[in-house]
């Protein structure tokens, strides 16, 4: 299904968000203390950065690819999953006292889920018109 009403600005904002998540996860691989304050010798710090990157890089790459591709077929589920993952980051940030994770995750969740909601509305309207 093509999403005719997805604005260029929505594509750009979501691409910036996905790119930022990928860039931050790569930066955290290089220096895990960017993700969580603590000493570089903390035993779980490297594991956390690697686990974060293991999901952020492929998910962000898939979302970027879908945003850039002509066919937007996978965009609705990718935006929904990306938004849900960011909500998970917000919850982790809240329980661990990491303000950047809460703020960044909230912003990205809002962007991805609002766009997914718009796409879902467009799809239901298109289905209603076709019926």
What is the residue extent of each domain of the chain? 8-130
| Dist. CA 98–CA 130, nearest whole Å | 47
Spatial contact of 45 and 38, defined as CB atoms under 8 Å apart = yes
- Residue 86's pLDDT band, with cuts at 50, 70 and 90, is very high
- Average pLDDT of the residues in 10-17: 96
| Contact residues for 126 (Cβ-Cβ < 8 A; gap 6+) | 1
Q: What is the mean pLDDT of residues 50-77?
A: 93
pLDDT of 5:
63
Task: Give the pLDDT of residue 45.
Answer: 83
Whole-angstrom Cα distance, residue 88 to residue 84? 6
Higher pLDDT, 55 or 128: 55
What pTM does this model have? 0.87
Measured distance CA(22)–CA(38) in Å, rounded: 22
């Amino acid at each position: 299904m093509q999403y005719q009403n997805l604005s260029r600005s929505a594509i750009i904002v979501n691409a910036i968000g996905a790119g930022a998540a990928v860039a931050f996860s790569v930066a955290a691989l290089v220096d895990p203390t960017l993700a969580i304050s603590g000493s570089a010798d903390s035993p779980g710090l490297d594991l956390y950065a690697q686990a974060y990157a293991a999901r952020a890089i492929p998910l962000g790459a898939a979302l970027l690819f879908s945003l850039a591709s002509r066919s937007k077929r996978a965009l609705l589920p990718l935006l929904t999953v990306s938004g849900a993952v960011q909500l998970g980051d917000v919850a982790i940030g809240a329980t661990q006292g990491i303000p950047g994770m809460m703020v960044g995750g909230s912003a990205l969740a809002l962007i991805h889920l609002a766009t997914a909601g718009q796409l879902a509305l467009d799809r239901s309207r298109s289905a209603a018109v076709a019926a």
